[in-house]
Amino acid sequence: THADHWHTYWLNPGLGTPTTLKWELPEGWQASNSFLWPIPKAKPTEVGNQHLYEGTQWLFTTVTPPADLKPGETIALKASAKWLVCDEGSRCLPGSQNVELSLPSAAEATPVASVMAELEKVKAQQAQASPAWEVKLEKGEAWTVTLTPKEGANPDPGEVYFFDEKASITNDPQKVAREGGVIRITATPGTGKKGDPIGFVHASKGWLKDGSVPALAVGAPATAAPPAAPASTRTTAEDNGLAARPAPQPGVAGTAAAEDTGLVPAPAATAAAQENSKEQPVETGTAAAASTGVSGTKSEVTFWGAVLGLFLAGMILNLMPCVFPVLALKVQSFIKQAGKDRRHTVNHSLAYTAGLLVFVWLVAGGMFVASRSFGQELAWGDITRYTPVLAGVVIVLFLLGLNLAGLFEIGTSLTAVGGELQDKKGYAGSFWSGALTLLISTPCSAPLMAAPMGFALKQSPLSQFVLFTAFGLGIALPYVVLANSPGLLKRLPKPGAWMETFKKALSFPMFAAAIFFFNAFVTKTGGEGAALMLWALLLTAIAAWIYGHWCVPSRSGRSRWTGGVAALLMVAGAVKLTHDASLEKASAGGASYMTGDLAWETWSPAKLAAERAKGRAVFVDYTTINCYTCELNERKVFKSPGSDTVIAKFKAHNVAPLRAKYLVDGTPEDNAIRDSLKPWGISTYPAYVMYPADASKPPFLISDALLSQQDVLDAIDKAMN
């Protein structure tokens, strides 16, 4: 039972967070894969429709005992439930609860009349086919459900809505057209390979003349209870990636916790369950962005325009701080090659380009497979925002810095090997420096990058191959040009003793890059993760020192063996600490934070809707970790001379500043941020969007790259006009 103005969500929430129910059943018991869901309510919002439940709802599932169950036994059925409950404003509370029910077995069941009556009501709401209506599903540019009346059809079924259980369509507003008695519902296709929609069309007045049959099945009747499947441990509805939702039981009647959740607690909650039902407030989750009602949309990107844009963006990316340490290494490499055969230099540039392109293709291919095979949408740069990858990048950059500083040398045992092998080792080094360039450049964005990158991620495999190849070639171009320019190479200083000092100086930008990524790691893992990571870096440094001093050819075999074992032990400790650090999560912290004299709040679909409902214009800053352009824009607009004028204008017009920080955690909050940028075809950061004070006017994109104070001032004027 929900308190007034609070709600939870249906199997496909539209926007919100599905609830999971994980069973722990005795051996031989079986649980059905789904609930019998009552028909939810479709509620329109700023960023699409919610599918939710209010008031009192009953959710039923089937648990089947083994055939050899004997009367007189006591059975313990356990489950773990998680849910999200939200009010009509901007507050959402996640909840979790472990529940346990002990039941005696008997030769015959004794039904509870009141419960059976509720079960019959829910059964009557399940989707079914009817000879009174012909239902046809077609896909063109959009999914269309056509309902044609036959004998016995209700001539006025009332309001209709298509509920899709597989999220094969977005939660954008549906278009309903009526011609004669025929009803056509048009819905926007979703992303990823989720197949044809499966669900039902609800009619508020029923599909038959007598008002019965509220739900006509579309596709297979997915809500019908499926055959039971063995499950000593099973998550309800886990097979289709959507969670079934049990009735929440947040706590004991009269407690503050129960009042905060907005749910009327169930009296049967056990003490153990109450202990596990601690809720922490968060902002609400997944949102599919509305494809209508937006302005400021970019002009349509063409294929060759995207090729050119990505090529130029790749070139500009070389000037970003992410790539600068590798740029310094390449300068050192060219100095070493000064005076050598030109063919040798060209081959190194080709090896570098090959390494860069191979890893561009690997990252792009991984994104394509994640999207098309698993329905997981990733943006360029997401790979280096995952916590374990961040940790790995920090360690690699830290080791490279130690190597440049002279703590240890890589490959000292190969120094006496012939020149041909040395060349191969050098080419391998160029290949891997290209790979490293790509890896550490992924979180950086460059001007001209947002629109063509968003375009590229929606194309066919062959088109993506061409587009990302252009991007990689753009990054590699400066090095290829330098390697093929004898005049420029001749101007570089000749190799000499000074290079050892230059090499050590290059360790500092490498350490700076490690700090850059470490800052992002701390953002995701908090203080505990940072402390563990620092200990891991210390062990890494000790391992490198042992390797550099005891595992060199000048040492005896016994010393090298002992040093190798000691170094491996240090590495094992570093790996363990890195793993533990990656599991840490930063605390949510407060909802507000300050930039100058301006108080920002965390963006969410509910928060956005609440602010617009107050008649306020809303400025949304879309940012992410490891985003140099984001930080540059913030300093330039809100922390530089003239920022007082910008902040004063925010306050004078009561503009609500919201910040949407994309953390690549796969959370509903992250999904909501990503989806809300879809109307502008953007998948990279930063981006800045303004919602006018007049809620009837569409939002508009201010910028998806560099931002100036004048841009923000003009946007406020436009939003208030």
Q: What six digits make up the tokens of 264? A: 């009327």
Q: Which residues pair with 611 in a beta bridge?
A: none
Mean pLDDT of 555-576: 87
Tens digits of residue pLDDT in 446-473: 556 666 777 777 677 788 888 889 988 9
Decide: 600 and 593 in contact? Cβ < 8 Å.
Answer: yes
DSSP annotation of 239: G
Domain boundaries, given as residue ranges, for the chain: 6-111+229-275, 133-218, 303-401+414-516, 592-720
Q: Which residue has 């308190």 as its token pair?
A: 3
Decide: 270 and 102 in contact? Cβ < 8 Å.
Answer: no
**CA–CA dist 514, 527 (Å, integer):** 17
How far is CA 485 from each of CA 132, 329, 544, 679, rounded to the nearest angstrom?
A: 78, 19, 37, 44
Tens digits of residue pLDDT in 49-58: 888 888 888 8
CATH topology (fold) of 592-720: Glutaredoxin (3.40.30)
Lowest mean pLDDT among 366-370, 390-394, 678-682: 366-370
Q: With H, G, I as helix, E, B as strand and everything else as coil, classify residue 470.
A: helix
With vertex at residue 309, the alpha carbon angle to CA 305 and CA 310, rounded to the nearest 5 degrees, is 120
Mean pLDDT of 587-607: 70
pLDDT band at 606 (very low <50, low <70, confident <90, very high): confident
Choose among 685, 609, 274: nearest CA to 449: 685
**CA–CA dist 688, 713 (Å, integer):** 13
With left for phi above 0 and alpha for psi between -120 and 50, is residue 417 left, alpha or beta? beta
pLDDT band at 578 (very low <50, low <70, confident <90, very high): confident
pLDDT band at 247 (very low <50, low <70, confident <90, very high): very low
Q: Which residue has 């505990």 as its token pair?
A: 528
Architecture of domain 133-218: Sandwich (2.60)
Q: What is the Cα Rg of the chain in Å?
A: 30
pLDDT band at 211 (very low <50, low <70, confident <90, very high): very high
Element (DSSP H or E) covering residue 687: strand 687-691
Decide: 381 and 367 in contact? Cβ < 8 Å.
Answer: no
What pLDDT was estimated at residue 416? 32
**CA–CA dist 535, 159 (Å, integer):** 62
Average pLDDT, the chain: 75
Pick 354 or 510 by higher pLDDT.
Answer: 354
Mean pLDDT of 424-436: 72
Lowest mean pLDDT among 254-268, 506-520, 609-623: 254-268
Pick 527 or 713 by higher pLDDT.
Answer: 713
pLDDT band at 104 (very low <50, low <70, confident <90, very high): confident
Element (DSSP H or E) covering residue 635: helix 628-638
Choose among 440, 570, 445: nearest CA to 514: 440
**CA–CA dist 501, 672 (Å, integer):** 50
Tens digits of residue pLDDT in 335-387: 666 556 667 778 888 888 898 899 888 888 877 776 655 555 666 666 666 77
For the entire predicted model, the pTM comes to 0.44
How far is residue 697 CA from its own chain's centroid? 29
Lowest mean pLDDT among 124-133, 145-154, 327-336: 327-336
Mean pLDDT of 636-662: 91
Cα-Cα-Cα-Cα dihedral sign, residues 406, 411, 415, 419: negative
Decide: 600 and 675 in contact? Cβ < 8 Å.
Answer: no
**CA–CA dist 136, 159 (Å, integer):** 19
Element (DSSP H or E) covering residue 619: strand 618-624
